[in-house]
Chain A
Amino acid sequence: MSRVILEISHLHKVFDTNTVIEDLSLTVHEGEVVVIIGPSGCGKSTLLRCINALETIQGGEIKLHGNTVSKNSKDLHEIRQKIGMVFQNYELFPHMTVLDNVMLAPMKAQGRKKSEVREEALALLKRVGLESKADSYPRQLSGGQKQRTAIVRALCMHPEILLFDEVTAALDPQMVREVLEVILDLANAGKTMLVVTHEMQFARAVADRIVFFDDGQIIEQAAPDEFFDHPKTDKAKQFLNTFTFERDRSTTNRA
């Protein structure tokens, strides 16, 4: 198999007395798309936040390319440059245009040349169909456009891995697709990604591996077809059932 990008071993995360992640180990290889699914409140966001040290951890280790990621690392902001994060609510900088949002970190954090960054930013915006929005402010965009901007902002840093935390959960249904297509496109381009989502069809289409997560532990992981067609654990079956129930009901309604 190709080289390891992210290696999480025996991760422990506790909020006060509430253990959210317990002895979790997970490895992501270069070019791999790992999709994490699981009921809400099971610790998916917390896991992603631990990976770029937005949370302190109480045990275990997270390594990116062999470098330990920790809140105390001296070179933390250099490590973070290699981890792209896309949040559920976009978190664009409201006082900057789309283009400035994308260009800020490459210029200030990486010290790259303005002309070069600008060219790349515009090319990336074009790739996601936002070239005409470069000079707009976030408040002038739809949710889907904001999220595509956030993805471009992360991409422009040339991260080694992209983390997506339910990036379509805040979107109106008609905008979900435009964002998922961008992610699918990135997956096809060979980007390494860790994706948290509730969109099961999308998970199946984009994933190399599905990780089913509950109560802060990995319950089951498998290739997508195998996981969705033949889930092994009761918890996974139950979880998948909550989705098929909705489908069944809609077919009966139509009948």
Chain B
Amino acid sequence: MDKEFIKQYIPLYSEAALLTVKIGFLGIAAAIIIGLVCETIVYFKIPVLRRIVSVYIELSRNTPLLIQLFFIYYGLPKIGIRTDAQMCGIAGLAFLGGSYMAEAFRSGVEAIDVIQEESAYSLGLSKLQTVRYVLLPQAISISAPALIANVIFLLKETSVFSAISLMDLMFTAKDLIGLYYNTTESLFLLVVFYLLILLPVSVIGSLIERRLRHAGYGV
């Protein structure tokens, strides 16, 4: 391996990694919000919106991210909405991730026995208070492993962003391979930088999981 080459391109990769992290962070944050909103709509059985949510979830889960990105990147300008590549990346990740997050929250809510809800009602708590103080905290802790798995899954999915010319890690690696044929070094750097992003997430994720378990959840 060409050590000089690796040294020389570390800054370029760092920049790309920063972009990946930024888009990943914003996209995932938006996905979590979408997921929460969807699950709230489903939980309260809000008419019409509930239908829209189920169509969205099917669409989002059953199409590849690449195609979703193409739709956003090439489709939206056609109907007059101007976006840049970064916005598209964030939107694509949010669109894909929203449904996964919604499903994770749903499995958390469904895992809670209905009698917990009844127990809260019998104390005179309102529906909203019951969700806020009794169901949501339990649902989040039950969903935590799935939510964390989704975060990692979505971060990995960012590797398709190069297709809409975002200068992320994958784009940088492909670019360098195309220019200099330094395949080994370029891919080595790619793997290292993805690991640098994903390993801490994975470690922090399991710490959070463990903390939630130890905070007295579960019977």
Contact = CB atoms under 8 A, between A and B. Distances in A.
Interface stretch (B39-47, B132-140, B144-152, B166-174): B132-140
A154 interface: yes
A94 B133 CA distance: 12
Give the interface residue-count category, chain A: 20 to 34
A104 B217 contact: no
Contacts of A96: 216
A239 interface: no
A94 B135 CA distance: 11
Contacts of A110: 124
Contact of A95 (B119, B122, B123, B216): B216
Nearest to B137: A95
Given A94-B138, A95-B141, A95-B216, A157 B118 contact: no
B215 A81 contact: no
B115 A87 contact: yes
A104 B129 CA distance: 10
A83 B215 CA distance: 30
Given A89-B115, A91-B116, A77 B121 contact: yes
Contact of A157 (B121, B123, B126): B123
A93 B116 contact: yes
A1 B217 CA distance: 47
Contact of A109 (B115, B116, B125, B219): B125
A12 interface: no
Contacts of A82: 124
A92 B119 CA distance: 8
Given A77-B126, A80-B124, A87 B119 contact: yes
Given A54-B118, A138-B216, A93 B134 contact: yes
Interface in A65-104: 77-78, 80-85, 87, 89, 91-97, 104
Q: Which 8 A-B pairs have the closest CB atoms?
A: A137-B216, A81-B124, A91-B119, A105-B123, A85-B122, A109-B124, A80-B124, A77-B124
Given A95-B138, A139-B219, 18 more contacts: A52-B121, A54-B118, A77-B125, A77-B126, A80-B122, A80-B124, A84-B122, A93-B133, A93-B134, A94-B216, A95-B216, A109-B125, A109-B129, A110-B124, A137-B215, A139-B218, A140-B216, A157-B123
13 contacts: A77-B121, A80-B123, A83-B122, A87-B115, A92-B119, A94-B216, A95-B141, A104-B123, A104-B134, A105-B120, A105-B125, A137-B216, A138-B216
Interface of A: 49, 52, 54, 77-78, 80-85, 87, 89, 91-97, 104-105, 108-110, 137-140, 153-154, 157
